[in-house]
Amino acid sequence: MAFTVLVVGFSGCSQQSNRPMSKAYHNLTAHYNAYFIAQDQLRQAETVLYKERKENYNQILPILVPVDSIANASAKPFLDEAIKKASLVAERHQNSKWLDDAYIVIGKARLLKEDLPNAIEVFKYVNTKGTDEDDKHMALVGLMRAYVENEDYTNALNVAEYLRVQPLNRDNTREFYLTKAYLHQQKGELAVAAGILDATFPAIKKGEPNARLHLIAGQMYDQLGQTAKAADHYAAVLRNRPLYEQEFFANIYLIQSSGDRRGSGQSFEQMLSDRKNTDLKDKIYYTMGQIESRRGKYDRAIDFYRQSVAATTTNTDQIPYTYLEMGRLYFEKRNDLVNAQMYYDSALSLLPQQSKDYASIATRKKSLDEFVEYRNTIRTEDSLQRLAKLSPDALNAALQKAMKEQDKREAEQAELARKIVEKATGQPATAGVSMPGATNSDLAPADRWYLYNPVRLTQGRQDFLIAWGNRPLEDDWRRSTKEALRAVASENTPTNGASPANNVNPVGASQPGGRPDATNAVAGNPAPGTPRTDAATTRLDAMKARLPLTPVSLSQSNAKVENALYRLGKLYKFQFNQPTEAISTFEQLLTRYPNTLQKPEVYYLLHVSNDQLGRTSSWKDKLLAEYPNTTYARQAGQASGQAVTSGTEALAQKTYADIYYLYQSGNLTEGLAQVENALGKFTGTQIEDKFALLRIMLVGKVQGVDPYRQALSEFIRDYPVSLLVPHVKELQAAAEQPTAKRK
């Protein structure tokens, strides 16, 4: 009888049944079997992710540890197990009250695995089908976090706005505030994020996570210029049992924000002498440099930045940010664009691509690269032209002197490379190379070549970066010829400032090989002081071949200088916002090349640059007088402010029809003359862009392909909101195709 009752009882425990005994059974089984294990696995995964996170203290730390499926690989087994166990609740215990909780575990695990689409669907399902309001609120908080990680800020804000008016319990309130603060931080709204974080602290227990959040709040207030609030949060870090690194940076940030050389009872000298800070000295020197920079003492700042790089040990994360600060200092405070380019180049090569400022830094670095290229072109071509005017004897003497200087410089660089290898390996550069017949296995580990030792390799790479900066690998056996010519071009040119390579200018330095003593041999150069051979004669002839000795080569050289001056002036005007330098460069262009084809645009840029500086000039009048029918003249004359009447619109329509008839009739030259006159006359009318497009078609028929392409580019620049822009872009794409493919 008892057995019969037991069988009947269990047979009624179906997961679709709503009987009390069935629900009690499934609640008990789901909670203490599948869900309990799933929740424990998720908690372990979160612990691993938090402990193994990598903090970049050069930037504002994220309020929530970002989701990264690659960096989170160590937590993947826990997350997979959490999903597996939680799925059992959905499969076997549909009538359990722990069903919503199990789905939330699945959603959180998928979120941490960066499986965002599935995480979003799970959280939506709980919100729609869930039976417990607290669980539904928790799912919505997870949904908001998933939207943030997916950079879908609009939907994240919609969810936040809904949750704002819901009666959340204590845990959900805390998680909601943290997630909402994270949302606004990711959007760059630091003031809102910091304010929300302030409201969250009462709900967070004292401890290291609290210390981390106070550090972040301090960073945000620092960024906002509210140093008093920042200092309060940095002090709160020290009261919340922080990690040593958090305590260290709280002191560092406190010094940075206050400009005082003392933090929480410690001076820089004490921090530098503390053995616990051996691997953090680069951060200390960096902070000292920032303080001196804010005080306007740029030389001292540069010295401290250099000490920061030199103090780097195994962790090189600080180096790109130090180089970046040096690049900004040279660019913004010193107007030394050459050194700025070198530091930006070194910084960008080491900076993580996921850094928020990476794109803007890359853009500035590209502009600086172009600046150095154009400047070097001008100096090199001018120097070559000067050399071409020398007598044969004087020319030979100048080139031989340049080659000797190049040989000497290469020998010095080879010696420096040898010292770097010795410093990296702790032994002479030639040590560790096996004798003929010997193998690496015959050598003791300490005696093997240092490239087989990962520790020495890391240190050697860092020493190389410090001494030489970042540079590409390139094969060019004529590099010595190229550098000797550049040496002639740059002689008598003073070097301002210092490069990242310990005052060795990376521009023009030969690439050290794996064996420094073989540098000259690879380049084909004899060691300094040895007699010249036929190789030297070949080298001398190669240098002479680059000189503009014929009218054709001289014309080509001048074309390079003309283009470089034009591009350099535009860089000063548009990329660097230095109108004074732009004016000087454009005036030099007009002086040296008065017949340049860029004269209309140069006149216009000289006019707007002088206008930017509040100066009066005659460039607008010259533009209107000499080139009245150009787009630049129209742009300069659009400030008349005269209203366009309906009569003018009607006349514009009639004039357009007349000119279009000339175009269709094949009277192209007359049509082009009339449309250029009409553009100046009907500026501001509703069909001005149609006149401009008709002019483009006539230019293509009358003047050829190159003027046609330029006119297309000018249209896109001058009429960016015109409805004709898509059509013009299609014409532009067709114009760029090879001639054979065009109809």
pLDDT digit string, tens, across residues 113-123: 999 999 999 99
Task: Give alpha helix (H) positions in 130-267.
Answer: 133-149, 153-164, 170-186, 190-200, 208-223, 227-238, 244-258
Of 517-521, 533-537, 648-652, 697-701, the least confident: 517-521
More confident of the two residues 515 and 491: 491
More confident of the two residues 418 and 228: 228
As a whole number of angstroms, the distance between CA 696 and CA 701 comes to 9
| pLDDT(441) > 80 | no
The per-residue pLDDT for range 608-645, each reduced to its tens digit, is: 999 999 999 999 999 988 988 777 887 776 544 445 67
Instruction: For residue 110, give the amino acid letter.
Output: R
Instruction: For residue 438, give the amino acid letter.
Output: A
Query: What was the pLDDT predicted at 130?
Result: 85
Q: Please state, as a whole number, how many other Cβ atoms lie within 10 Å of the Cβ of residue 85.
A: 22
Contact 64, 111 (CB under 8 A): no
Cα angle 427, 428, 433 (rounded to 5 degrees) comes to 95
Query: What was the pLDDT predicted at 339?
Result: 92
Contact partners, residue 699, CB within 8 Å, separation at least 6 = 672, 707, 708, 711
Burial 456-472 (b: 16+ CB within 10 A, else e): beebbebbbbbbbbbbe
More confident of the two residues 408 and 19: 408
Residue range 420-432: mean pLDDT, rounded: 54
Which residue spans within 5-86 are E strands per DSSP? none
Dihedral of alpha carbons 459, 462, 467, 470, sign: positive
Query: What was the pLDDT predicted at 230?
Result: 93
Query: What was the pLDDT predicted at 639?
Result: 46
Task: State both tokens at 208.
Answer: 């290291």
Instruction: Please state the pTM of the whole predicted model.
Output: 0.64
More confident of the two residues 271 and 501: 271
As a whole number of angstroms, the distance between CA 567 and CA 250 comes to 46
Average pLDDT score, the chain:
79
DSSP class of residue 267?
A: B
| pLDDT(155) > 50 | yes
- Model confidence at 357, in pLDDT bands (50, 70, 90)? confident
Contact partners, residue 149, CB within 8 Å, separation at least 6 = 66, 67, 111, 114, 116
| pLDDT(12) > 50 | no
Query: What was the pLDDT predicted at 260?
Result: 54
Question: Which residue, 384, 405, 404, is CA-closest to 550?
Answer: 384
Contact 432, 448 (CB under 8 A): yes
Q: What percent of the chain has pLDDT over 90?
A: 41
Contact partners, residue 546, CB within 8 Å, separation at least 6 = 384, 485
C-alpha torsion angle, residues 60, 62, 67, 69 (rounded to 10): 30
| pLDDT(437) > 70 | no
Within 13 Å and on the Cβ side, how many CA atoms surround 224? 20
Using the structure block, give the residue that is written with the tokens 């936040």.
160
Within 13 Å and on the Cβ side, how many CA atoms surround 155? 15
Instruction: For residue 573, give the amino acid letter.
Output: K
Q: Is 262 helix (H, G, I), strand (E, B) or coil?
A: strand
As a whole number of angstroms, the distance between CA 373 and CA 368 comes to 8
- Model confidence at 25, in pLDDT bands (50, 70, 90)? low
As a whole number of angstroms, the distance between CA 434 and CA 444 comes to 11
- Model confidence at 524, in pLDDT bands (50, 70, 90)? very low
Task: State both tokens at 658.
Answer: 């007349």
Burial 364-398 (b: 16+ CB within 10 A, else e): bbebbebbbebbbbbbbbebbbebbeeeeeebeeb
Bridge partners of 262? 267
The per-residue pLDDT for range 40-49, each reduced to its tens digit, is: 889 998 899 8
CA 299 to chain centre: 26
Using the structure block, give the residue that is written with the tokens 């007349």.
658
The interaxial angle of helices 281-294 and 244-258, nearest 10 deg, is: 10
| pLDDT(426) > 90 | no
As a whole number of angstroms, the distance between CA 455 and CA 20 comes to 66
Query: What was the pLDDT predicted at 452?
Result: 38
Of 251-260, 398-407, 703-712, the least confident: 251-260
Residue range 659-671: mean pLDDT, rounded: 89
Contact partners, residue 389, CB within 8 Å, separation at least 6 = none
Contact 571, 372 (CB under 8 A): no
Question: Which residue, 181, 44, 45, is CA-closest to 112?
Answer: 45
| pLDDT(147) > 90 | yes
As a whole number of angstroms, the distance between CA 668 and CA 32 comes to 88
Contact 644, 684 (CB under 8 A): yes
Contact 368, 340 (CB under 8 A): yes
As a whole number of angstroms, the distance between CA 15 and CA 91 comes to 9
Residue range 331-343: mean pLDDT, rounded: 92
Query: What was the pLDDT predicted at 500?
Result: 47
Using the structure block, give the residue that is written with the tokens 């060019």.
476
| pLDDT(474) > 60 | no
Using the structure block, give the residue that is written with the tokens 């660089």.
413
Query: What was the pLDDT predicted at 638?
Result: 57
The per-residue pLDDT for range 277-299, each reduced to its tens digit, is: 988 999 999 999 988 998 899 99
